[in-house]
Amino acid sequence: MLTLSRTRPAIARHGSLSLIARVARVLETRRTRAALGKLDARLLDDIGISRSTARQEERRFL
């Protein structure tokens, strides 16, 4: 099952991020965007995102 998350790590909500927390956040964002690109048309329609928007998000680096 693919999970998409828009929440930030708890550290992010309390001020400055350590380098490790920043790297973790970037990696999580990349995993989430990759998962979005793997969803089929039915699932994308369920969450209200078009295929082109999903591809665009998947290609974003940061």
Q: Are 17 and 11 in contact (CB under 8 A)?
A: yes
Range of the domain at 22: 18-59
In a domain, 22, yes or no: yes
In a domain, 10, yes or no: no
What's the pLDDT tens digit per position in 3-60? Answer: 665 655 555 555 677 999 999 999 999 999 999 999 999 999 999 999 999 999 999 8
Instruction: Using DSSP, state whether 6 is helix, strand or coil.
Output: coil
The number of domains in the chain is: 1
Predicted structure pTM score: 0.61
In a domain, 2, yes or no: no
* Residue 30 pLDDT: 93
C-alpha closest to that of 28 among 55, 8, 51: 8
DSSP labels for 19-60? HHHHHHHHHHHHHHHHHHHH--HHHHHHHT--HHHHHHHHH-
In a domain, 5, yes or no: no
